[in-house]
Chains A and B, each alone.
Chain A
């Protein structure tokens, strides 16, 4: 079974803090994604990567950056957390083309106070 693991289930941070959300997959998938889930807004794409050291902006990249130094790990970074970044963050991975199934992590509920 594919496993996508997010390092924290719940996280509470202060405004202005630098925040790291980690995601690891164990299936040698080329593609990794960070989505943000908010009620009524669905899943919005923040950043994605289709290869090591490659990254592409999604629909809402402002205030975020990413790092993919190893194939299995994709990190989301909030350089200076703000209250409007309070949300559920979902990592996902897939192999091959965009038509392949996405495997999601269990999510990190981030609260920025």
Chain B
């Protein structure tokens, strides 16, 4: 089955700096890669996703890049703000076979004001 590895497990940045979280996956048939954000004490929520027919997707200060050859994808947050502090999870899935996401182990991002 799919295995998703996520790094780093914790990340501390100064407000205004950029943050990058990286994930690798094992199943070459995976073609959908979402990112979820979980603020302290709250439920995870989808913030951005990318599908295998594109290499990059942006939404304001967040972007995701995908390298299918290397089987890795990354989340980029620019101009970080204290409200970006949260745990971020990457995930992967394929269209066929098991119809459920496999999540990474999570990255705790702390933005220092």
Number of chain B interface residues as a range: 20 to 34
A70 interface residue (CB < 8 Å to B): no
Q: Which of A44, A45, A59, A90 contacts B44 (CB 8 A)?
A: A90
Segment 42-58 of B: residues with Cβ below 8 Å from A: 42-46, 49, 51
Interface size on A, residues (CB 8 A): 24
Q: Which of B45, B93, B105 contacts A42 (CB 8 A)?
A: B105
Contact at A98–B100, with CB atoms within 8 Å? yes
Q: Which of A42, A59, A99 contacts B32 (CB 8 A)?
A: A99
CB distance from A47 to the nearest CB of B (A): 9
Chain A contact residues: helix, strand, loop or mixed: loop
In the bound complex, residues from chain A placing their C-beta under 8 Å from that of B1 are: 59
CB-nearest residue of chain A relative to B107?
Answer: A42
CB-nearest residue of chain B relative to A56?
Answer: B98
Contact at A42–B6, with CB atoms within 8 Å? yes
In the bound complex, residues from chain A placing their C-beta under 8 Å from that of B9 are: 40
CB-nearest residue of chain B relative to A91?
Answer: B43
Contact at B95–A98, with CB atoms within 8 Å? yes
In the bound complex, residues from chain B placing their C-beta under 8 Å from that of A56 are: 98, 100
